[in-house]
Chains A and B, each alone.
Chain A
């Protein structure tokens, strides 16, 4: 049981480049989330999804886009990378049986130079 997996683990982007951070969960969870964590800080919610085909903005959505075509996958897209997007990105999922408990992936460390 892999839980929540994220790829890539590390990435360096130049300003203006685009990339997609992948997230997959195998727990059949309805809810999925993307967070960013800046050094020494807590997590800020970027986007979330309550099920396939449904997404909504979180606290810091600017510069990002998401899609949820399947229950398992929730990719995060950066269209025009900026240095302010240098951060560690975490994907999380949550099931209906335990509605307040989120399970996190290992993170993607992104540097934009």
Chain B
């Protein structure tokens, strides 16, 4: 059983469409990160959210941390083919250093 559940697991959309990816847990996290991973490479950090209700924007990507710090979402506006990849959320339970990763959402954006 994953401590962090991501949905959907797979998403295939056309270029220009909007999408939202979810990361849910029954546990409270002190912080949550989103990573993007491209084939053959390691995950690359996109954003860290630490405050309940926090919203961060990174160009066309909007990240939100739930008020209770148990869940997060990633919204992409006007998806581009370059957004294709595996999106991973990861949470830290406390001020320690271990991250728990979700199972990932594999996004394919078709031209």
B99: chain A residues within 8 A (beta carbon): 45, 100, 102
Interface size on B, residues (CB 8 A): 26
Stretch binding the partner chain, chosen from A36-44, A61-69, A70-78: A36-44
The answer to whether A48 touches B2 (Cβ under 8 A) is: no
Within the assembled complex, what's the spacing in Å between the Cα atoms of A90 and B43? 9
Q: Is A83 an interface residue (CB 8 A)?
A: no
CA distance A100 to B17 in the complex (A): 31
**Interface bits B73-111 vs A (CB < 8 Å: 1, else 0):** 000000000000000101010010111011110100000
Complex Cα distance, B86 from A104, in Å, reads 15
A42 to chain B: closest CB distance in Å?
4
Q: A101 near B: Cβ within 8 Å? A: yes
Do B101 and A42 touch across chains, with their CB atoms under 8 A apart? yes
B55 CB, min distance to chain A CBs, angstroms = 18
Binary contact readout A91-113 vs B (1 if CB under 8 angstroms, 0 otherwise):
01010001111111111000000
Does the CB pair A90–B97 fall under 8 Å?
A: no
CB distance from A91 to the nearest CB of B (A): 8
Q: Closest approach, in angstroms, between the C-beta of B74 and any C-beta of chain A?
A: 15
| A residues in contact with B102, CB < 8 Å | 42
Q: Is B64 an interface residue (CB 8 A)?
A: no
Beyond the given pairs A48-B97, A48-B98, A106-B41, 7 more chain A to chain B contacts, judged by CB atoms under 8 angstroms and listed by A's residue number, are A4-B42, A40-B104, A42-B4, A42-B101, A43-B101, A94-B97, A100-B99
